[in-house]
C-alpha cells in the first residue's frame, strides 16, 4: 500500500502530486531499528531517528518529574510501545500526509490500536502465531485481529480459513463495520509484481483495495475505468515494491541466495512454495540417477558424499530460536518434498544460531532479549535441528555452525568445490533475525 501511495508524491512521473510524505510503520526490523519508521519508503535517517528518540524520551521524563514520579525506566513504556509512540511523534513532526500503521501483535490490545478513526482497515492472511498472547486457536487469533476494525470505517480482509472468517464477520457485525473479502485481482496477471511469489497476489489485491479506499476517503477522483483498469500509479507501485528479506534473491559468484523470513507454519509453507517455483529443475537432487539393478555411478568431486549421486548442490540455511523449530523444519521439508516430488529437496543443510559473527557477536540492532543465552551458546536448538533433518533425509549432508557468518562461509566453501558455471541454490529461512543477520554478513558488515 505504501508503494502505491508514494506514487502520488512529487516525481518526474507525477506532475500533479497529491501527497508530499507517506509514513510506514512496521515490525520487526531486519538490520536496523530505523527500518521500522519509514517516510516515502525510506528508513528514518540516523539523525532524525536520534532527534525524535530523544524528544520522546525527554518528554516522558519531563512528564514524570511534573508528577513527582521517578524518571528511571519505570517512566518509559516497553520497547515496542516506545517505538510506536516515537513513530506517531515522528509522523506528526514530519507532517506526513498519510501513514500506514502495521499492528505488532494481534490487534485488539496492540499499542498501535489507538487510532480511533482510520480511513480504512485491512487484515491479511491469518495464521497461528504469538500464541502466548493471542491464544492457541485460529478463532482466538482472529478475534484479536478484528480489534482494528472501527465503526464507520470500511474494512477488508483476504479469504481466511472458515473458522477465522466466521469470527471476523461476527465481530464486524458487532462493531457495525462493513467487512469485505478481497479475492485475487485478475488484473495482476498482466503485472510483474516487485514481490513475485504467487501468494503475493493476495497481498497485492488487498493493497489495491486499501489504497483506493484511502484515496476515496480524500475524495480523490480515481479514473472512470477503475477498477476494470488500474491507474498507472497503482501499476508502478505494484511493480516497484521491494521488501528486503521477503521473497528476495541475492546473487554472488556461484551462489543464488533465496531469502524469506518466514517463521510460522503458514509462512514457512509459503516460503517453501516460492523457493520451489524459483529453482530450476536441474538444481534438484535427483531421486534416482541409475536403475536399482545397475551399478552406481562413479563419485566425482561434485557428488553428494552419502549417495554417490552427482548433483548441483541445493542448500538450506535455517534457524528458529524461539518457536517450535523442529515443527517448522518438518513443515519446510514436507512442502518441498511434495512440491518438487523428491525425498531429497536439499543436498546440504546448515543450522546456525542468530549470532551474527563468531568474534564480535551480534550487531547491536540484532540483539534479541527473548532467547536463552545458555541454549544459544550450547547450540541446543541447532543440534536438535540437525537430528530432526537427519531423520527426514539421511542422505543430506548436515552441519551445525555457531554463527551466521560461519554458516555463510560454509555454504561458500561448498560452492567453491563446484565446477565453473554451476550456480548453487541456497534457501535462507526460518527467522527474521536470521535473515537480518545474513544480510549484514552478505553486505560486508564485517567482524
DSSP states of 283-307: GSPPS-SS-TTSPPPPP-TTEETTT
The reported pLDDT for the residue numbered 72 is 86
Residue 362 has pLDDT above 80, yes or no: no
Alpha helices, DSSP H, located in 317-361: 325-340
Residue 158 has pLDDT above 90, yes or no: yes
CA distance 145 to 126: 8
Q: Of 115-124, 170-179, 370-379, 426-435, which gets the smallest average pLDDT?
A: 370-379
- Nine-digit cell string for 220: 480523490
Can you tell me whether residue 6 is helix, strand or coil? Answer: helix
DSSP 98: E
pLDDT interval class at 446 (50, 70, 90) = low
Average pLDDT score, the chain: 88
Residue 16 to residues 89, 99, 213, 284: CA-CA distances in angstroms? 28, 20, 20, 50
Q: What percent of the chain has pLDDT over 70?
A: 89
CA distance 435 to 437: 5
Per-residue pLDDT of 110-130, as tens digits, reads: 999 999 999 999 999 988 777
- Higher-confidence residue: 196 or 274? 274
- Nine-digit cell string for 79: 520497547
- Closest by alpha carbon to 273, among 427, 419, 385, 390? 427
DSSP 104: S
Alpha helices, DSSP H, located in 67-137: 79-93, 131-134
- Closest by alpha carbon to 77, among 69, 86, 68? 86
- Closest by alpha carbon to 210, among 127, 129, 295, 100? 100
- Nine-digit cell string for 20: 508530499
120, 208 contact by CB (below 8 A): no
Per-residue pLDDT of 184-231, as tens digits, reads: 999 999 999 998 888 899 999 999 999 999 999 999 988 766 778 899
Per-residue pLDDT of 124-155, as tens digits, reads: 998 877 777 778 899 999 999 999 999 999 99
Amino acid at each position: 500500500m505504501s508503494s502505491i501511495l508514494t506514487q502520488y508524491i512529487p516525481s518526474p512521473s507525477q506532475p500533479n502530486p497529491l501527497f508530499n510524505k507517506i509514513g510506514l510503520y512496521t515490525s520487526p526490523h531486519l538490520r536496523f531499528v530505523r527500518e521500522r519508521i519509514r517516510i516515502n519508503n525510506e528508513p528514518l535517517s540516523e539523525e532524525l531517528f536520534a532527534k525524535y528518540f530523544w524528544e520522546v524520551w525527554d518528554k516522558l521524563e519531563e512528564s514524570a518529574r511534573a508528577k513527582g514520579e521517578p524518571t528511571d525506566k519505570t517512566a518509559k513504556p516497553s520497547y515496542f510501545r516506545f517505538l510506536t509512540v516515537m513513530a506517531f511523534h515522528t509522523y506528526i513532526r514530519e507532517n506526513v500526509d498519510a501513514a500506514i500503521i502495521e499492528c505488532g501483535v494481534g490487534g485488539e490490545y496492540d499499542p498501535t490500536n489507538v487510532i480511533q478513526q482510520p480511513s480504512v482497515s485491512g487484515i491479511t492472511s491469518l495464521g497461528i502465531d504469538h500464541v502466548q498472547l493471542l491464544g492457541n486457536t485460529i478463532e482466538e487469533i482472529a478475534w484479536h485481529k478484528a480489534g482494528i476494525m472501527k465503526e464507520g470505517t470500511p474494512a477488508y480482509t483476504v479469504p481466511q480459513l472458515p473458522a477465522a472468517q466466521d469470527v471476523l464477520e461476527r465481530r464486524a457485525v458487532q462493531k457495525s463495520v462493513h467487512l469485505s473479502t478481497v479475492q485475487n485481482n485478475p488484473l495482476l496477471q498482466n503485472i510483474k509484481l516487485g514481490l513475485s511469489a504467487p501468494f503475493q497476489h493476495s497481498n497485492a489485491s488487498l493493497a489495491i483495495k486499501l489504497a483506493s479506499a484511502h484515496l476515496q476517503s480524500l475524495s480523490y477522483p480515481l479514473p472512470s475505468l477503475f477498477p476494470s483498469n488500474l491507474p498507472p500509479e497503482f501499476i508502478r507501485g505494484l511493480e516497484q515494491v521491494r521488501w528486503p528479506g521477503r521473497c528476495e534473491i541475492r546473487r554472488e559468484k556461484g551462489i543464488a541466495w533465496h531469502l524469506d523470513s518466514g517463521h510460522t507454519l503458514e509462512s514457512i509453507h509459503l516460503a517453501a512454495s516460492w523457493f520451489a517455483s524459483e529453482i530450476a529443475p536441474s538444481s534438484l537432487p535427483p531421486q534416482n540417477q541409475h536403475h536399482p539393478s545397475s551399478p552406481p555411478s562413479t563419485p566425482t568431486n561434485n557428488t553428494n558424499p552419502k549417495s554417490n549421486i552427482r548433483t548441483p548442490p541445493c542448500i538450506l540455511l535455517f534457524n528458529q530460536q524461539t518457536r517450535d523449530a523442529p515443527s517448522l523444519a518438518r513443515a519446510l521439508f514436507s512442502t518441498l518434498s511434495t512440491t518438487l516430488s523428491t525425498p531429497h529437496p536439499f543436498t546440504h543443510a546448515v543450522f546456525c544460531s542468530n549470532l551474527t559473527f563468531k568474534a564480535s557477536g551480534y550487531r547491536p540492532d540484532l540483539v534479541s532479549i527473548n532467547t536463552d543465552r545458555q541454549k544459544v551458546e550450547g547450540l541446543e536448538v541447532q543440534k536438535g535441528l540437525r537430528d530432526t533433518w537427519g531423520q527426514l533425509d539421511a542422505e543430506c549432508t548436515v552441519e551445525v555452525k555457531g554463527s551466521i557468518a560461519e554458516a555463510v562461509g560454509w555454504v561458500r566453501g561448498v560452492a567453491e568445490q563446484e565446477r565453473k558455471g554451476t550456480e548453487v541454490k541456497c534457501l535462507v529461512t526460518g527467522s527474521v533475525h536470521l535473515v537480518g543477520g545474513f544480510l549484514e554478513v552478505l553486505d560486508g558488515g564485517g567482524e
